[in-house]
Structure 1
């Protein structure tokens, strides 16, 4: 039996609204469909809050490392590394809870993992071939988060502002921004940085070539 090649694991971290998802999709688009790419978002791995009242769910600090089920994320990324399929959780942001449904994910050659704290955990970092930190100004990130949460997650203007000031901004400076020291590459201004995206894509192709040699 031919030994399976290790997939390329790309970790993309940065504050909420920094442009992590845009960069992930730009890399995927530039690699094209010749290679199978799987996108994993850390947001899917918020803890299961079943049994917690809605009032208490709304009080949870979702920008703190403890809000995530990191052991499950590490386990499932490791399974994909070893070419095993996973059942990825789905998180319902309107209910502040994990859905009963999951998404079946088959192993692939390239796995892009993006999330605010994907560089905070040593076990996760050790699984990555490339570690990226997206560095975007606070004002821009806040505006993007405001637009997203109101449009996609059914949040009110007041609730977004209150959450940002109470937890999002302080947690960013306490837990997220310090993880940039673990990054191989720091990308200023998120998805609008075409030069950085071209460099990243070239590096990914280089790793793929080495893995397939």
Structure 2
């Protein structure tokens, strides 16, 4: 496949448990055959190696300051410019960045997924298409509890406490207000077949136009 002049960068955001990862994966699968990569914002939590475990557990991971946004912006720019990156990885059990990295090659479509994508202007400006997944609070909470207990080894009490103390207030303070930056607001996440069909159709129009206009 011939390379396009510039990759199409798609940002998918929404509250924790909204279904943004499901939507991102659905887009990825529907555009199978295209040159595509996905960057999860969760991989860019700050390196906390110098912090004791007790302090790591007290960090507000739903606040923009918990992320190394500068690194995400830098690496996204590198991908846009056609350079491979070494994406960091995160170990939830250690509350810290893992030593391993993942090599991500440049591609024609880049999907960036995360809860706080639209907060920082420098990151927002790199996104060609901004999708906000809008899901009811109760559903998001249930999904988050199931995920954290089953996949991340958290207790029910710890999930509830974290949700009440940081997740819910941070959502209303930082995430929900960024809905105004969205090009597309997708209710019900991955359950919204009509909405995802429309997103797929629009992306195919953009990709086809880019291919026709390539040098």
TM-score range, shorter chain: over 0.9
Q: Which residue of 1 aligns with 2:53?
A: 54
Q: Following TM superposition, where does structure 1 have runs of at least 4 consecutive aligned residues deviating by more than 3 angstroms?
A: none
**Distance (Å, rounded) in 1 between the aligned partners of 2:81 and 2:209:** 18
Q: Distance in 2 between matches of 1:167 and 1:23?
A: 24
Task: Give the Cα separation in 2 of the matches to 1:207 and 1:19.
Answer: 24
User: What value does the CA root-mean-square deviation take over the aligned residues?
Assistant: 1.1
Partner of 1:19: 19
Matches within 5 A, 1:1-213: 5-32=5-32, 34-213=33-212
Q: Alignment length, in residue pairs?
A: 211
Deviation at 1:211, TM superposition (A): 1.2
SS in 1 for 2:90: strand
Alpha-carbon distance change, 85 to 119 in structure 1, aligned in 2, over 3 angstroms: same
- Please give the secondary structure, in 1, of the residue aligned with 2:58: coil
1:4 shift after superposition = 5.1
Unaligned runs of 5+ residues in structure 1 are none
Pick closer, same or farther for the CA change 1:202–1:3 going to 2, 3 Å: closer
* Shift in Å, 1:31: 1.2
Q: Secondary structure at the match of 1:58?
A: helix
Question: Counterparts of 1:206 and 1:45 in 2: how far apart (Å)?
Answer: 31
Shift of 1:202: 0.8
Per-residue deviation, 1:3: 8.1
Residue 117 of structure 1 and its aligned partner are, at CA, apart by 0.5
**Aligned-residue offset at 1:26:** 0.8
Q: Distance in 2 between matches of 1:123 and 1:81?
A: 14
Q: In structure 2, how many angstroms separate the alpha carbons of the residues matched to 1:142 and 1:102?
A: 30
The TM-score, its normalising length taken from structure 2, stands at 0.96
Which 5+ residue runs of structure 2 have no aligned equivalent? none
- 1:171 to partner: Cα distance: 0.2
Question: What is the TM-score with the length of structure 1 in the denominator?
Answer: 0.97
- CA separation in 1, counterparts of 2:110 and 2:154? 30
Q: Distance in 2 between matches of 1:88 and 1:194?
A: 31
CA distance in 2, matches of 1:38, 1:68: 20
